[in-house]
């Protein structure tokens, strides 16, 4: 096991499952040390959820490192130099402005052996440059940078959308009050979804896989489902027949043009277009390695209290 010192950036919705699974799996190996980088204000926070997370990180045997990723690149390089592997679970919270590229550059300049960048999402290359979600162009820049060098091995994990987003009111797929399912693009458009818990479990499995996985994109999936099938799930679990409507590509485009900085409308446009947002189960790491994952229906059964 070459990757003995592991630095995980962030402890949010995805970070915690990744930390949990990497830390637990690392105990099977000698002298593998897991460190979690968080802002000092987060580590010392009085917020109950943050305190719970910090307590859990400590109970897992992981160390905490107080630092701010918005610091100058030279500071990040001096931190990253101390680790064999960096796993980024920062999310898009930092927004645009080159943050992901700055992190990747610092990792490379530090000579880190292995990097898992924040690319837990869709297939940016199939979507291509100039898409509705401008943050995706930077993700392509990160890939180009990683491929341009040979010192740092890298692994990108494509996960699709978090499963919970299908059911969030703000995303506009389902309105439980009005009993409407509103397909994006068409009822036949498909989307791949994975729960953060499954992403954490599979990230650990990919990390520790032998022979070591490197310099590649690994696809995982909890479920690949069309919006029509999603409506069937809603009908089945609610015991009612929801009205089915469609926000076609023209409507999604107009919505975004009228509100061009709206984060949700950017995503609705991407997931309505359908390119690069789904893949067949057969091409996924979990299918090929017989690792069970949670379907959209299973997630909804377990989390939705049907549905109030």
pLDDT along the chain (308 residues), means of 10: 89 96 95 96 94 96 96 96 97 71 96 97 93 88 97 97 95 95 97 98 97 97 97 95 96 94 92 95 97 97 76
pLDDT digits (tens, 9 = 90+) for 174-189: 999 999 999 999 999 9
- Residue 224's DSSP bridge partners are 192
DSSP, residue by residue, the chain: ----EEEEE--STTHHHHHHHHHHHHTTSTT-EEEEEE-HHHHT---HHHHHHHHHHHHTT-EEEE--TTS-HHHHHHHHTT-SEEEE--TTTT-SSSHHHHHHHHHHHTT-SEEE-S--BS-HHHH-TT-S-THHHHHHHHHHHHHT-SSSEEEEEE--EEGGGGG-GGGTSEETTTTEEEEES-TT-EEEEE-HHHHHHHHHHHHH-SSPP-SEEEE--SEEEEHHHHHHHHHHHHTS--EEEEE-HHHHHHHHHHSTT-HHHHHHHHHHH-TTS---GGGSHHHHTT-----HHHHHHHHS-TT-
How far is the C-alpha of 166 from the C-alpha of 296, rounded, in Å? 8
pLDDT tens per residue, range 11-36: 999 999 999 999 999 999 989 999 99
Q: Which of 243, 241, 234, 242 is nearest to 301 (CA)?
A: 234
Give the whole-angstrom CA distance, residue 196 versus residue 174.
21
In sequence order, what are the beta bridge partners of 35?
7, 63
Q: What is the mean pLDDT of the chain?
A: 94
pTM strictly above 0.85: yes
pLDDT score of 199:
98
In this prediction, residue 125 carries a pLDDT of 93
44 phi and psi angles, rounded to 5 deg: -95, 5
């Amino acid at each position: 096991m070459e990757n003995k010192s592991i630095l995980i950036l962030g402890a949010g919705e995805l970070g915690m499952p990744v930390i949990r699974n990497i830390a637990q799996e690392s105990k099977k190996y000698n002298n593998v040390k897991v460190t979690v980088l968080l802002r000092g204000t987060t580590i010392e926070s009085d917020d109950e959820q943050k305190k719970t997370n910090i307590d859990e990180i400590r109970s897992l045997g992981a160390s905490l490192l107080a630092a701010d990723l918005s610091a100058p690149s030279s500071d990040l390089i001096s931190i990253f130099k101390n680790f064999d592997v960096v796993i980024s679970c920062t999310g898009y919270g930092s927004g645009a402005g080159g943050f992901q590229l700055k992190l990747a550059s610092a990792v490379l300049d530090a000579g880190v052996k292995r990097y898992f960048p924040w690319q837990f999402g869709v297939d940016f290359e199939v979507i291509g440059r100039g898409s509705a979600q401008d943050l995706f162009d930077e993700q392509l820049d990160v890939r180009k940078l990683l491929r341009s060098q040979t010192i740092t091995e890298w692994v990108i994990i494509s996960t699709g959308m978090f499963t919970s987003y299908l059911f969030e009111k703000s995303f506009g797929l389902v309105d439980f009050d009005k009993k409407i399912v509103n397909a994006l693009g068409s009822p036949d458009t498909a989307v791949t979804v994975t729960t953060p818990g499954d992403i954490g479990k599979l990230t650990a499995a990919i990390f520790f896989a032998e022979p070591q996985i490197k310099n590649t994109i690994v696809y995982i999936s909890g479920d690949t489902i069309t919006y029509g099938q999603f409506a069937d799930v809603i009908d089945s679990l609610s015991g009612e027949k929801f009205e089915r409507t469609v926000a076609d590509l023209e409507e999604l485009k107009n919505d975004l043009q009228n509100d061009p900085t709206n984060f949700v409308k950017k995503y609705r446009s991407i997931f309505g277009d359908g390119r690069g947002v789904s893949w067949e189960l057969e091409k996924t790491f979990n299918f090929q390695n017989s690792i069970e994952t949670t379907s959209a229906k299973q997630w909804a059964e377990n989390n939705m209290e049907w549905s109030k």
